[in-house]
Amino acid sequence: MAKRSRSSPKGKARTAMPGSLGEALDEVGFQPLGRRITVGKQTARHPRASTDWAVPAIEFFRFTLPRAPNGNWEHLFIAAHEVACQALAMLGHSVVIDGGAKPVSNPVLPAVLPRWDDIATAVVWSAGQSGLLSYRRRGGTGYGKRSPSLPRSNIRAGYGCPPAYLAAEAFPVFQSLGLILDRRWTAVAETILWRDTPHEAGMNFAKDRRFIEALEVALTSVPEDVAAKIRDIAAMPATDVAEIVEFVERHAPFHTTKDEVLVYLQDRSRRLLCELFAKRWRLGDGWLSAGECKRALFLELDPLSIQMSLEFAKVFVPSGIG
């Protein structure tokens, strides 16, 4: 399983290499926002009706998150732990702070719970990050063969999901979320595993009928505010090059070319589009309203939403984003 780690000490995803244009712009706080340049910080439809998963999920996050000496939870700039901190806060048991989450003195479940699919994804990510879940190659319908370096799988393949090893302490939350039953993956688990590391597990969701149908829905039902943001993101590389070249000449101690700036902006555009999908789109429900977004976790490294954003851009933005 891939470890979703952060490279930025401030918790922001960064792809800039040392000494690159991207690093220099990040250092001075550059943020391209559509056609505007600023410097500095800027201030499923659910398959399960039951909410019995909430308390087991809370206990699981409390158990798997690293704990600081003062009692706070630390995410260590690891994305799986960052999402777990988000989840605890949205479940009424902490407040997100710099570097992690702080327990609240009187935890109370909110009247409106966060999305089941997002919490299930956060649990899967946390289990993988903590070494409590690991997948096996699919070679049959029964339990996987023992590897000298890996424990024997104890979750059978099913519904497109591969065999897996799941530690005993993770069983209660996986069962309460409806992801496993009788030591086998359930039907609802498949699209949750799509949001983990599907290629490592031999899952190719981009060819799946459900993914293709969801792409068509996304293309034909774009809210106007989302469409406006996408147009700004797509226009950024072509419209901001000259202004950024001038900006770099004034603020950075080196010379840059238009081609270098264009590559940087194309990369930034792709990242902004991926972030937009992580916030506003879900496989089962399509585009989320502003109210629905309040129940969604920000799963920035979700491979499902990233792939959907790339496929969407190929059609919705004929000239491409990057």
Give first-to-last CA distance, the chain, whole Å: 29
Residues with Cβ within 8 Å of 272's Cβ and at least 6 positions away in sequence, in order, are 233, 236
Q: What is the pLDDT of residue 7?
A: 40
**Beta bridge partners of residue 286, listed in sequence order:** 282
Task: Provide DSSP, 15-36.
Answer: -PPTTSHHHHHHHTTEEEETTE
Q: What is the pLDDT of residue 45?
A: 44
Q: What is the pLDDT of residue 191?
A: 97
Rounded to the nearest 5 degrees, what angle is found at the Cα of 104, between the Cα atoms of 132 and 290? 80
Beta strands at 94-97 and 100-103: parallel, antiparallel or unpaired: antiparallel
- Do the beta carbons of residue 158 and residue 127 sit within 8 Å? no
> pLDDT tens-digit profile of 168-195?
999 999 999 999 999 999 999 999 999 9
In this prediction the pTM is 0.81
Residues with Cβ within 8 Å of 276's Cβ and at least 6 positions away in sequence, in order, are 226, 229, 230, 233, 309
Residue ranges for the chain with pLDDT beneath 70: 1-50, 139-148, 249, 252-253, 255, 318-322
Average pLDDT, the chain: 84
Q: Alpha-carbon distance 115 to 122, whole Å?
A: 11
Q: What is the pLDDT of residue 246?
A: 72
